[in-house]
Amino acid sequence: MGDANGNGIQFAKYHGLGNDFILVDNRQQPELALSAETAAQWCDRHFGIGADGVIFVLPPTGETDYTMRIINSDGSEPEMCGNGIRCYAKFVAALENVPENSEKLYRIHTLAGLIQPIFRLDGQVTVDMGEPILDAAKVPTTLAAAGEKAIEVPLSVDGETRTFTTVSMGNPHAITFVDDVEAIALETVGPPLETNAVFPQKTNVEFIQVLGRDSLKMRVWERGAGITLACGTGACASLVAGVLTERCDRLATVILPGGPLDIEWSSADNHLYMTGPAELVFMGTYR
């Protein structure tokens, strides 16, 4: 991980639709190469490299190829990240010298369970994100009783009431539908929703504008990162919320500030499939 003289740690900077990450090859040891505090410093856009999080490629766990862990820009650790795992797949493919015109599936252990990204011939990455979790107690949220779904439940914060549908993709999401996502002041409404007591592990918050049965427009306040240009797990959770509330079909394009993601909630296996890009920005050594 360090250079030949042990004077720094090599890294690669990737982004998925503007949701950017620092990737570190951590395959030689199960412990993270950086502390959470140092990872947060690396993410600082003025005094560090700048990113929404640091992702580590760790040795495999059980019958997997690798283990993925993430430290957010605030030093917290989320269970999973949809855009991040696409970047992860691209980074691992580069580490393995997989040719650009090849296809390969990876079995990745995450804190959200097994996630399987496919490095595709066209350079895109399709990720089997698994099944959505709708049981309120497992999201977790107290907006509904254990064993029940929280679908369009009213929640009042700072004198304003909105209805939320909650979904977990291994990490918690609260989705609300609005007429115009651009009119939402995320920096104002995001923090009190993220930390509201009805979300015991905090939550990601998605604001969704329905453009059509096959098209949703999304803005997100991410737990531990704030305003980001894209959120893959949030796009998946938002499609689920759209289907549950009969606003959209099971296959739709979710348009984020950074660009579009194609999301499918398969009726065959109940899994979410996310397809989108991941791009290398630059590589370097942090000394």
Residue 212 in this model has a pLDDT that exceeds 50: yes
Q: Using CB atoms within 10 A of its CB, is residue 280 exposed (0-12), middle (13-18) or buried (19+)?
A: middle
**Residue 261's pLDDT is what?**
98
- At a CB cut-off of 8 Å and minimum separation 6, what does 16 contact? 82, 83, 84, 86, 87, 230, 232, 258, 276, 277, 278, 279
pTM confidence score: 0.91
Structure tokens belonging to residue 176: 């609300």
Rounded Cα gap, residues 58 and 60, in angstroms: 7
pLDDT digits (tens, 9 = 90+) for 30-87: 999 999 999 999 999 999 999 999 999 999 999 999 999 999 999 999 999 999 999 9
Mean local confidence (pLDDT), 172-187: 98
pLDDT bin (cut points 50, 70, 90) of residue 6 is low
Mean local confidence (pLDDT), 222-228: 96
- At a CB cut-off of 8 Å and minimum separation 6, what does 82 contact? 16, 127, 129, 169, 231, 232, 233, 234, 235, 236, 261, 274
**Residue 5's pLDDT is what?**
46
Active site residue 81: yes
Mean local confidence (pLDDT), 197-211: 98
Span between the terminal Cα atoms of the chain, in Å: 12
Mean local confidence (pLDDT), 221-247: 97
DSSP state of 168: E
**Residue 101's pLDDT is what?**
78
**Residue 100's pLDDT is what?**
78
Annotated catalytic residue within 81, 87, 236, 248? 81
Active site residue 248: no
Annotated catalytic residue within 87, 231, 236, 248? 231
Lowest model confidence (mean pLDDT) among 14-28, 89-103, 197-211, 225-239: 89-103
